Amino acid sequence: MANPLAFITQIPATSQLYIGSHNVGLVALSIVIAVIVSYTALLVVQLAGRVDNEKRRFFLVTLGGATLGMGVWSMHFIGMLGFSVPCGITYNPYITALSMLPGVFAGIFSLHLISKQSDSWRTLLFGGVLFGGGIGVMHYSGMAAMQMDAFLRYDLKLFLLSIVVAVVLAVLSLWVRYGIIKLLPGIEQYALLISAVVMGSAVSGMHYTAMSAAYFLKGDVTSTAVSGFDPTNMAITITGVTGLIVGVVLLVVYSQFSHQIERINEQLRSANNILKFQKIALDHHAIVSIADVEGNITYLNDKFVESIGYSRDELLGNNHRMIKSQHHSIEFYNNLWQAISKGEIWQGEIKNSTKEGKPLWLRSTIVPFIDDKTKKPYQYISMSTDITGIKEAEAALAQMSKVFRDASDPMIIEDLNGKITNINREAERVFGWKKEELLGQTIKALLPVSRHEQADKLLASCLVGKEIRGVESSLLTKNGNKIQVLLTLSLLRSDTGEAMGVATYAADFSARKQAEDELQEKYEDLARFRKLAIGRELQMIELKKEVNQYLQQQGKKNRYKIVVDNKE
């Protein structure tokens, strides 16, 4: 036994060999052990991937790797013990114990490699060489622990083949955990079991290939140890210890898994509460619907039903086309569907129609739900805000802007500090200023200095809500000409009633003022004429009286009489 790894170049005659036989029960037990410990180790890796704590994850993977190594070692010795040779055999306890270490290190390394989910062939090949080599070293060092009345020799070709088998199957076992899912996505739920079977088969395949390379030669062997382990007792012990180790690891896994499940449940409860309140908030704020890939409505919230006017039964199962208006072009809808069909989020404004035919403007965000396997949308969720009021206000504002722009009188908009923010076309024409030249200035730029104090008082009165109408004033054009105007000031308020500015209407009445002045002058002339005419009439009456008196005095009253007509 001085040379534990001796080779032969020719196969010995049968008469020179001890011909061994396998115990089917122990062989099956060895393979089952290999699969069970592989499944346990991979389960540990799967659990470790869900653990957030780095140290705990490292501990779990290391524990799983050690379990895999000890399980592989157990499978090896159960398999060896299932092989009977008609000669005395015992096992050196020290070498037997040491032979476990290569398998343990190989198991730890392989599980850490798997936990990184690396699919690089260079990494897999490197890991396979170390894993397969570790199993090989464990096997042949375990064979060296045999003390028997025979010479142990190996067929070099089969020996090398066993190493190749160990490496190839090790690479396959490292790859299959995630590689098989990529090839066959439909069997993802069975991936762990399939991986365990492949890994257990890899370990068993290497062992039994290596066993076929061993020959037990008859001879005069006097060095057989009598103090080694009895094979039967050893098989029972190894099986028991392996079961205990697997049980302990499964207990640790269960404990960790229970802790993890409880933590996940707590997170789910918290997430559900958050989602619950988010849904309440969303349902009170937004119009929400869900549709399949054909656009058929599968879900809608109460706000959707309220806003559109149809009942829930009328909407569910029907297509979104039933509420669309004729406002948008076909190209608009084609672009929308092309975007969300490619998995893109669409945002924009859509005009729909209520059951009563009224317009319903929505500012919408449509989010596709993407299937992880097909990478294609399987439904769409639409979250919308009713902006019909805004659209109507915009239309009204546009109309008001048109009225402002095209008004026949000059109009000036000021902020609360009296600075000009806008003027209309008529103001530009009448005063000769461009809008850009007046923006930011106060209205005093258009007033004579004598009217500045009046302007301050009018603005202050308007800001406190007083009505300012038809106040006569004067404004200056850009070239200095004075224009007589009637000022009307209106306070501009927001939807909430907050003061935003002041609108000043300056009605030009210079021509009318001139006409009034001319009319006043004519009226005054007429008054003077009337006064003069009345004075003359009074003089004629006095003259008549004097003439009549004279005639009476002359005694000719009945023959002569001067009559003065009193008509004006």
pTM above 0.85, yes or no: no
Domain contains 269: no
Do 206 and 83 fall into the same domain? Answer: yes
Looking at 262, 296, 328, the residue that finishes a domain is 262
Q: What per-residue confidence (pLDDT) applies to 522? A: 56
126 and 10 part of one domain? yes
Same domain for 181 and 103: yes
Last residue of a domain, one of 508, 528, 545: 508
413 and 520 both lie in a single domain: no
> Would residue 106 count as lying in a domain?
yes
Q: Is residue 564 part of a domain?
A: yes
Tokens of 40: 């346990």
Is the same domain home to 346 and 417? no
100-115 helix and 156-183 helix, angle to the nearest 10 degrees: 20
CA separation (Å) from 356 to 231, 352, 501? 91, 11, 39
Query: Are 234 and 295 part of one and the same domain?
Result: no
- Domain shared by 94 and 224, yes or no: yes
Residues of the chain with pLDDT under 50: 1-2, 224-227, 557-558, 560, 562, 564, 566-568
Question: What pLDDT was estimated at residue 1?
Answer: 45
Residues 384 and 411 in one domain: no
Write down the pLDDT at residue 379: 93
In the prediction, which pLDDT does 538 show?
Answer: 67
**Whether 417 and 498 share a structural domain:** yes
User: Does any domain span residue 400?
Assistant: no
Q: Answer yes or no: is 253 within a domain.
A: yes
374, part of any domain: yes
Instruction: Output the pLDDT for position 557.
Output: 47
Residue 401 belongs to a domain: no
Q: What angle do CA 100, 106, 111 make, to 5 degrees?
A: 125
Burial of 30 (0-12, 13-18, 19+ CB in 10 A): buried
User: pLDDT value at position 547?
Assistant: 66
Q: What is the CATH classification number for the domain harbouring 474?
A: 3.30.450.20
Residue 224 lies in a domain: yes
The residue among 237, 238, 228 whose CA lies nearest residue 95 is: 228
At residue 530, the pLDDT reads: 65
Domain count, the chain: 4
Whether 256 and 363 map to the same domain: the answer is no
Alpha helices in 216-329 (DSSP H): 231-285, 302-308, 312-315
Sign of CA dihedral 180, 186, 192, 198: negative
CB 463 within 8 A of CB 471: no
In this structure, are 227 and 130 located in the same domain? yes
Phi and psi torsions of 504, nearest 5°: -110, 125
Owning domain of residue 116? 6-262
Q: For residues 17 and 150, give the distance between their C-alpha atoms in angstroms, rounded to a whole number.
A: 9
Query: Could you tell me whether strands 499-508 and 482-493 are parallel, antiparallel, or unpaired per DSSP bridges?
Result: antiparallel
Considering the domain architecture, whether residues 504 and 523 belong to the same structural domain is answered as no
Q: Render pLDDT for 368-401 as a digit per residue (tens, 0 to 9).
A: 999 887 888 999 999 898 888 888 877 777 777 7
Among the candidates 457, 492, 508, a domain finishes at 508
Q: Which residue is associated with the tokens 């122990």? A: 26
